[in-house]
Structure 1
Amino acid sequence: MINVRFECEILRASRTRLAQLIEKSTYEILFKIPDGFNNNIIWQIGHCITSQQRHIYMRSGLPMYISKEFEDSFKIGSSPDSWKITPDVNEVKHLLIDTVNHLESDLESGLFVNYEPFDLPIGFQVKNHVQALQAANYHEAEHSGQIFTYLKLLVKE
C-alpha cells in the first residue's frame, strides 16, 4: 500500500531544499544558462512546479494553483528564450512550498476523484493522482540532479 503522506513528505523535503538553494544563490546564478544547456536553474525549478500541477491537478480536471503565464513559462518545450517576461524569483520560491500545502490539504479532503491517464516517456502509464505524485517525485529528483550540476558548473565560472 502506498503511503501518500510519505510521498508528500518527500516532495516537501525536495522543495524545501530547492527553496534554500534559491535563498543562497544570486540572481545571476539562478538565471544564467550554463554552456551547452538550453535552460537555467530557475527554469528547472519552475518546471518541477508546473509539471506537478499539470500531472496531478489538470489531469484530474481540477484548477491548478499556478497561473497560465507561469505554466507557459515552465511547461515542457519552453525555455528562457521563450519567456515573454522574466519570472519572479519570489513567486517561484513561494509556489515551491505553497503547492505542496495545497496538495496535502486536497488529498486529505478527497478532492481527487477523476483522472485522465497519460504515458511517461520512460515507458509507464500514470493512471491516477497517487501515481502522478510518485511520478512527480521521480521527475523532481531528475531535475534536482540537473539543478545541482548547473550550480557546480556556474560556481566554477
Structure 2
Amino acid sequence: MNYVKNQLTVMRGNLLKEIEGFNPEFMDVQPEGFNNTIHWHLGHVLTVAENFLLKSNSELPANYSQLFGYGSKPAEWAGDVPTVDVLKQQLHEQLDRLLEIPEERLTEKTAQPFNGMETVGEFINFVVLHEANHIGQIHAMKLFIQSTN
C-alpha cells in the first residue's frame, strides 16, 4: 500500500508543482491546437479521481461533472465555475482523502467496471496514469503559452 500511496502523492505533487508560479492570467488561455485550458485540466483531474475513487463520499459540487467531465469544454461553461485557487485547494484536500483508502479495499470489486478495470486498486492505477497524461498536457500548454506571450 505504501507504493500506491507514494504514487498518488508523487503524481499529485507533480501536478501542483507544474502550475506553481505560472501566471494566473494564462490559466484560462486555450492555445491553438489544444481542446481545453489549464484551468479545465485541473478540474478534470480532480473530478475524474473523485468519480472513480470517492464517489460514494464525494465532497465536490454536483456541477463539476458538467464542467470538467469527459467531453466538456470551458467554452461551454455556465453557472458557478470554481477558480483555479479553489481547485488547487480541493486537489490538496482530495489527496488526503485518497490516502485514507484502506489497503483491504484495493482488491474490492467496484459497482461499475470501466474499460476492463474492476477493482479499487485498478482504478487507483488508472487515476495515477490519467493524472500523468494531464500533467503532460499542462506542461505542453505552458510551453506554448510562454513562447507566444
**TM-score class, shorter:** 0.7 to 0.9
Conserved in 1, the CA contact under 8 Å of 2:109 and 2:118? no
Pick the aligned partner of 2:25 from 24, 28, 34.
28
Pick the aligned partner of 2:134 from 120, 143, 148.
143
Conserved in 2, the CA contact under 8 Å of 1:10 and 1:137? yes
The alignment's TM-score, normalised by the length of structure 2, stands at 0.86
1:101 aligns with 96
Name stretches of at least 5 consecutive residues in structure 2 with no aligned partner.
none
Conserved in 1, the CA contact under 8 Å of 2:18 and 2:138? no
Structure 2 residue 88 is matched with structure 1 residue 90 = no
Question: Aligned equivalents of 1:143 and 1:44: distance in 2?
Answer: 7
Amino acid at match of 2:128: N
Pick the aligned partner of 2:124 from 124, 133, 144.
133
Name stretches of at least 5 consecutive residues in structure 1 with no aligned partner.
none
Question: How far did 1:113 drift?
Answer: 5.6
Structure 2 residue 53 is matched with structure 1 residue 69 = no
Pick the aligned partner of 2:111 from 109, 116, 132.
116
Conserved in 1, the CA contact under 8 Å of 2:14 and 2:135? no
Q: What count of residue pairs does the alignment treat as equivalent?
A: 147
1:17 aligns with 14
Amino acid at match of 1:96: L
